Amino acid sequence: MITSSTPAARPMFAPLTACWVCGARGLTPYHTLRFELDAYRSEDQDHELAQYSGETLDLVRCASCGFGQPAALPTLPRYFDRMYDQRWDEDWIAREFDAGCKDFIFRTILRELERRVGTNDRRLLDVGAHAGRFLHLAREAGWDAEGIELNPRTAAYAAIRTGLPVHQMNAQAVADRGRSYDAVVLTDVLEHIPEPVDLLTTLAKLTKDGGVIAVKVPCGPSQVVKERVLAAATSHRVTLADNLVHVNHFSPRSLKLALRRSGFEPSVRAAAPELQPAKPLTFRALGSSALRLTTYALARLPGGVHTPLALNLQAYGRRL
């Protein structure tokens, strides 16, 4: 169901009628998301974007492959660029770099990539490099690493902090320059990009024959269960994709299918968790990390990736 609380001169949403992953048309609503963009209403902000505040939109699941996506997309030109127009200050970006919450995830990915491509082929591309933490760890581990980052502030910070090339252009523009890599990494990025098979197909062009792509995304069905459990236990409202921050909701099966359709031979498992920073080391932080590591260990058991314990998915796909 698409609702519009204010009469608009033109439609605010364009319906999507087919699954972005498999093309099937059997799409069933399973969650209603909200738009809360009042922060963009103030004087120097984005009034057209703020008009979406109060709107709702359904997420729909594909009966054929299990993929979840919005029932429609905003017609506002550059909606996603405008929503992500973050003007982070340098102190915040520096804290993002230094926090180290994702180091366990990053080191797990680097180890798995090395196992697959060997120690001689070391050209790596991090798509969505953010503040550059993964690039930093990749270089420490002996990779010849480069990044793509569209946000000008984080791109500049990552380039200065790591001394590595950070391309401030999209993947197609990097592909057009004829560059190619042994390993391409997408961590916590693909869930934000409409029509994910298009980006993966571009990344296949950037991956050498026999090279490997590593993709980490939230697991759509597990996040629904987690949110409903939290909502039942607390006053928490079920939030899966407010403002369309997440447009792709992959199941293990649909993630495999998306990679296959893009030219990769994939395997999918539970992803390593974020851990609390070691400083300050509190009992609460220790307890949280212990719980996450235990959940991860259980989700790595045979069949565990198909249970709600797999909160995030990690795929590795070899370029065919």
φ and ψ at 289, to 5 degrees? -65, -40
Buried-exposed string 44-71: b where 16+ CB fall within 10 A, e elsewhere:
eebeebbbbbebebbbbbbebbbbbbbb
Considering beta carbons, is residue 60 or 271 the nearer one to Zn ion?
60
* Tokens representing residue 43 in the block: 């004087």
Give me 12's structure tokens.
Answer: 């605010």
Q: Which is nearer to Zn ion, 12 or 65 (CB)?
A: 65
87, two tokens:
């003007």
Q: How far is the CB of 191 from Zn ion (least distance, A)?
A: 16
Apex CA 85: angle with CA 83 and CA 91, to 5°?
A: 130
238: helix, strand or coil: coil
258, 203 in Cβ contact below 8 A? Answer: no
What is the smallest separation between the CB atom of 68 and Zn ion, expressed in angstroms?
9
Minimum distance of Zn ion from residue 255's CB (angstroms): 11
Identity of the residue, 68 or 128, whose beta carbon is nearer to Zn ion in the bound complex:
68
Minimum Å gap between C-beta 254 and Zn ion is 6
Closer to Zn ion by Cβ: residue 65 or 109: 65
187 or 248: CB nearest Zn ion: 248
Residue 134 Cα distances to 1, 164, 180, angstroms: 40, 11, 19
Q: Calculate the alpha carbon distances from 182 to 26, 118, 252 in Å.
A: 37, 10, 24
Shortest distance (Å) from residue 202 CB to Zn ion:
20
Could you write out the DSSP letters of every residue in 182-205? Answer: EEEEEES-GGGSSSHHHHHHHHHH
Q: Which is nearer to Zn ion, 19 or 37 (CB)?
A: 19
Provide the minimum distance between the beta carbon of 22 and Zn ion in the complex, in angstroms, as a whole number: 3
Helix (H, G, I), strand (E, B) or coil at 73: strand
- List residues binding Zn ion (CB under 5 A): 19, 21-22, 24, 62, 64-65, 67
